[in-house]
Amino acid sequence: MSKRYLGIAAVAAVLALVLVKTGALDAVALFLLVGAIPGTDISLPAPLMFAALTLAIWFIVFRFATTSALRRRTSTVATRYLTHKKQLPKRRYERI
């Protein structure tokens, strides 16, 4: 499993290096902080950027909350099913 993490770390390091060297990271940071659209002289107004960031953060939090709730529910249903299955009588020809 450590080889897997090492591979993921290497890919992340190469990706970070490429983003820093090409200036893409700076462009994204300027867009998020100032609203400057990369490659143009257009700048978005502050209330629009605030609304967009608020909406993006809300969607991310909502997604994690629903995923967590769904995982918890699935785990509970699976546990109930397994305990019910253990209580059933053994069948003669259950496995062939």
Q: What is the 3-state secondary structure (H, E, C) of 3-53?
A: HHHHHHHHHHHHHHHHHHHHCHHHHHHHHHHCCECCCCCCECCHHHHHHHH
In this structure, what are the phi and psi dihedrals at residue 36, rounded to the nearest 5 degrees? Answer: -80, 120
- Cα 64-70-74 angle, rounded to 5 deg: 145
Q: Tell me what pLDDT residue 91 has.
A: 67
DSSP reduced 3-state for 91: coil
- Which range has the worst mean pLDDT, 58-62, 64-68, 69-73? 69-73
With tokens 């502050």, the residue in question is: 46
Model-level pTM? 0.51
